[in-house]
Structure 1
Amino acid sequence: MSLQNDGRPSITSSHPVVLEIGIVTALLVGVYLWRELVSQVLTTVFGRPPSVGGVFVSGLVNGGVLLFGLIGFTVAYSRFREIDLGLRLPSRKVVPLVGLAVLTPIICVALTKLVGVVTGVPYNALTKTSIAADASVLPILLIAGLGLIIGVPMLVVICQVLIQASFEQVVSADTAIVLTTAVAGFVMVSNTGGLATVPELGKLIGAIAFTLSLGVAVYANERLENDWLPYLGFAPVVFVTAIIVFAGIAEVGTVAGGLFAVTQLAVLGIAAYTYDRTASLLAPALAYAALLLANRIVVFVFEAGMQSW
């Protein structure tokens, strides 16, 4: 934050960033509304499935319609803003970064599980998932496969294209990585454990409140001439930020819970970093896939039959 000649705080130079935050927030709201529309229409037409197989087919159809619609919009959006999507394989010289994208989630999940064992916190209490002790392998594979087929592309499209590539239009690559990790870390980390494929309503309300408070700060800084009123304009953004931070801290009740939260941020960060450095969507896709699979494997192998939340 720079200072004007009169000592008043100024975010004039950050107007493009503020505007881009508004654009990203609007895009995320659009994704949420699209998910709600698809869900309501398909439920009205087909009803709710009664069995595991029906749930899988319904999830596949619902997720497929949601994903293809989102991809169609993303392609149009990328062409409008001249965004290179990164639909290519990484070059050989950046293969170590691809390995880093895969290993980071696995190491973080293993460390979190280890700390959970030592401190008495089951991993399924963090992921909010459970598997019956006598569950057959097929349903588990179907659910895991659905998460990969739908969840990974959704995360890549939202985090890397709609968020990261948007920020790269107005800031440096490194700054875009930080902003992507922060924004995605807030809106894409689910309150029910792990990464969400679509932002939750409560997180979107928080994002909208933050964006509006930034607008208030900009307006107060530029339009109010009183010596102290511009400072007052920054109060809403400070207040909203404090609520978001304290709410996040309040959700972390244990050391294992803290590591679990750090894992989500680490994966989002490594996905953003490797996407920028490899110029390929494959690296972040592998990072998200590794996280989803590691979560599922830990619960299935070590905690089948347990439900700890």
Structure 2
Amino acid sequence: MSLHSSSRPFSRSTRPLALELGVITAGLVVVYLWRELVRTTLTTVLGTPPIVGGVLFSGLVSGGILLLGLLVFAGTYARFRDIDIGFRLPSRDDVTPAGIAVLAPVVCVAVTKLIGAVTGVPYNSLTKTSVAADASVLPVLLVAGLGLIIGVPVLVVICQVLIQGSFDQVVSANAAIVLTTALAGFVMVSNTGGLATVPELGKLVGAVVFTMALGVAVYANERVSRRWLRYLGVAPVLLVTAIIILSGIAEIETIAGGLYAATQLTVLGVAAYTYNETESLIIPTLAYASLLLANRTVVFVFEAGIQSW
């Protein structure tokens, strides 16, 4: 019996994980389609805002509708899946996780900025954001405020409720933290710098392809009798994994760029870890907010008037 089991590339416990990944991926597709529906509908009704104030107002309206829809979706999903959402205030015992959530992004951003300054890589070339040399504080605060009001809650809903809450259903807490960091690190890290509010289409397609490849591998592992066919069934998931890793590495052109990518993963990992420790959505919210504010502060204070991409 042990010889028969050892000839299988996966254990049978892989099936629930593969199914859960399929559910999560389907949820991410729903999120993406909802964002596209909101964007298309508002563009048709309101048109393209011609001025900065109009853009901010449009972003607030579309972001508010997007967030409201996601909250309804996440609440329904959590209730259906019996996922415990951390709607609770932190306690005194949560001071340390809260401190980690706030300080870790700041330290990572500071180190990345320092290495970038030494190696000649402007930080705004990594964030793909810029501020005019004569920009006043108010517009910068408004843009940052929009990110705090809309972007941060959306990240929490997607990463902690949809992804981490789902993984918690089938694996241990520590494994869920690792899997959440890995999956969110792939689908939520934007190609244009920083964490995306909603998964980009290319990343979403990659997640769908990986999920299908894993499904093929699990099916072959459990239903195919010939050993060589079972191992052949693993080939697609290994190929997709290799492509994802190599493409991610290829995008890193500098040391500062590598640190910037590591910062995004670190913040996602810190958010997942602190959420698991505190069971409060407020703590991962602090992590994402700290990253956003640290990024904006560096670009506004040190690199105003510079656009390096």
TM-score normalised by L of structure 2: 0.98
- State whether structure 2 residue 257 is matched by structure 1 residue 218: no
Contact 2:7 2:227 in 1 (8 A): no
- The list of structure 1 runs, each at least 4 consecutive aligned residues, that deviate by more than 4 angstroms after superposition, is none
Contact 1:20 1:167 in 2 (8 A): yes
For structure 1, list consecutive stretches of 5 or more residues without a partner in the other structure.
none
Letter in 2 for 1:75: G
Task: State the distance in 2 between where 1:10 and 1:105 align.
Answer: 36
Matches within 5 A, 1:27-38: 27-38=27-38
Letter in 1 for 2:268: L
Task: Return closer, same or farther for 1:83/1:186 CA change in 2, 3 Å cut-off.
Answer: same
SS state at 1:191 partner: coil
- State whether structure 2 residue 202 is matched by structure 1 residue 190: no
Letter in 2 for 1:300: F
Alignment match, 1:42: 42
Task: Return closer, same or farther for 1:3/1:210 CA change in 2, 3 Å cut-off.
Answer: farther
Letter in 1 for 2:237: V
SS state at 1:184 partner: helix
- State whether structure 2 residue 84 is matched by structure 1 residue 99: no
Matches within 5 A, 1:1-309: 4-5=4-5, 7-309=7-309
Task: State the distance in 1 between where 2:51 and 2:66 align.
Answer: 22
SS state at 1:5 partner: helix
TM-score normalised by L of structure 1: 0.98
Q: Using the TM superposition, give the Cα deviation of residue 82 of structure 1 relative to its aligned residue in structure 2, in angstroms.
A: 1.4
Task: State the distance in 2 between where 1:14 and 1:78 align.
Answer: 23
Task: State the distance in 2 between where 1:193 and 1:159 align.
Answer: 18
Deviations 1:115-136 (A, max 9, x none): 0000000000000001110112
Q: Using the TM superposition, give the Cα deviation of residue 3 of structure 1 relative to its aligned residue in structure 2, in angstroms.
A: 7.3
Letter in 2 for 1:61: V
SS state at 2:5 partner: coil
Q: Using the TM superposition, give the Cα deviation of residue 292 of structure 1 relative to its aligned residue in structure 2, in angstroms.
A: 0.2
For structure 2, list consecutive stretches of 5 or more residues without a partner in the other structure.
none
Contact 2:14 2:218 in 1 (8 A): no
Contact 1:101 1:274 in 2 (8 A): yes
Letter in 2 for 1:237: V
Task: State the distance in 2 between where 1:234 and 1:14 align.
Answer: 13
Q: Give me the CA root mean square deviation.
A: 1.1
